[in-house]
Structures are given as structure tokens and as C-alpha cells.
């Protein structure tokens, strides 16, 4: 191909190729969904609650260090003192999770958890010494 023919071909492709506005080629980030975690107990107890407030970049990142993405809160719970946390996640079906436990105690505090996405309860759990709420099966 001669230089003149090559230049003509490049010019034709340039004219036929649509030019997009800056930033329009990027996909919009997924919309954040409102997630509400609620944990209660039938009897007063100090509990350890693990929850997800930030989605890991990849599954590999999570599996290498799950506690980096699942902080722990140590809180006093009871029938009239629930623990409630609101977070925003792009993919709650994959990452929303709350888990609560009391450890070994002489009495069973009986835990109950609830996970709501955009105001709709999508998971509940309960147990004598702990509970897990998640859409995903871990």
C-alpha cells in the first residue's frame, strides 16, 4: 500500500468513526442500595456483631482477608436495645451480611437478626446463641 493510499484509508476511518464525549464511554457505576441490619436479643447480653459495609473489589480479595471487609462491633443488646446499622451496597444479594453471637454464657440470650434492602426485609435469622442474616448462602 502506498503512503497516499494509506493516508486516504486512515482519513476515511477517522471520518466514519464516531467520536464520543469525554467520559461517555465509561459505564455508570451501579446504583447503591440501602441496606439495614437489625439485631436484637430476648435477654440482655454483650454481643459480637460482624457485618459488611463495604463490598470487596473481588472475591479473591475477600477470601484472602474476610475480616478486612467484615468489621466487628461489640455492643450491649436486649429486647429494648436493638443494634441497627444502615449501609449502602451496590450488590447486596452478593455482599450484605450480618452475624451476631454471644459466645459461651450460662443463659441463652436468643438472637434475632433482620436484613432489609431498600426497606424490604430479604433475610431473617435467629438462634439461642447467635444468628446470621444474608441473602447469599455462605
Q: What is the pLDDT of residues 38-78, one digit of tens each?
A: 999 999 999 999 999 999 999 899 999 988 999 999 999 99
Residues 6+ apart with CB under 8 A from 114: 36, 37, 38, 39, 121, 123, 124, 133
What's the chain's length in residues?
138
C-alpha cell belonging to residue 21: 464525549
Architecture of the domain whose range is 24-134? Sandwich (2.60)
Strand, coil or helix: what is 46? strand
pLDDT in tens, 83-138: 999 999 999 999 999 999 997 877 899 999 999 999 999 999 999 999 999 998 86
Q: How many contiguous H segments (helices) and E segments (strands) does the chain have?
A: 3, 8
> How far is Cα of residue 70 from the mean position of the Cα atoms in its chain?
10
Nearest to 35 by CA among 110, 133, 103: 133
Strand boundaries in 2-134, DSSP class E: 33-41, 45-51, 72-77, 83-89, 97-101, 111-117, 120-127, 130-134
pTM, full prediction? 0.77
Amino acid at each position: 500500500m502506498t503512503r497516499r493510499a494509506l493516508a486516504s484509508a486512515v482519513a476515511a476511518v477517522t471520518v466514519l468513526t464516531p467520536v464520543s464525549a469525554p467520559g461517555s464511554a465509561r459505564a455508570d457505576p451501579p446504583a447503591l442500595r440501602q441496606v439495614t441490619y437489625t439485631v436484637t436479643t430476648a435477654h440482655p447480653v454483650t454481643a459480637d456483631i460482624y457485618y459488611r459495609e463495604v463490598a470487596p473489589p473481588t472475591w479473591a480479595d475477600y477470601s484472602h482477608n474476610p475480616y478486612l471487609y467484615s468489621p466487628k462491633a461489640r455492643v450491649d443488646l436486649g429486647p429494648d436495645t436493638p443494634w441497627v446499622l444502615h449501609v449502602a451496597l451496590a450488590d447486596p444479594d452478593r455482599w450484605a451480611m450480618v452475624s451476631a453471637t454471644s459466645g459461651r454464657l450460662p443463659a441463652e440470650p436468643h438472637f434475632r437478626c433482620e436484613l432489609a434492602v431498600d426497606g424490604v426485609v430479604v433475610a431473617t435469622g435467629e438462634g439461642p446463641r447467635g444468628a446470621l442474616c444474608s441473602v447469599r448462602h455462605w
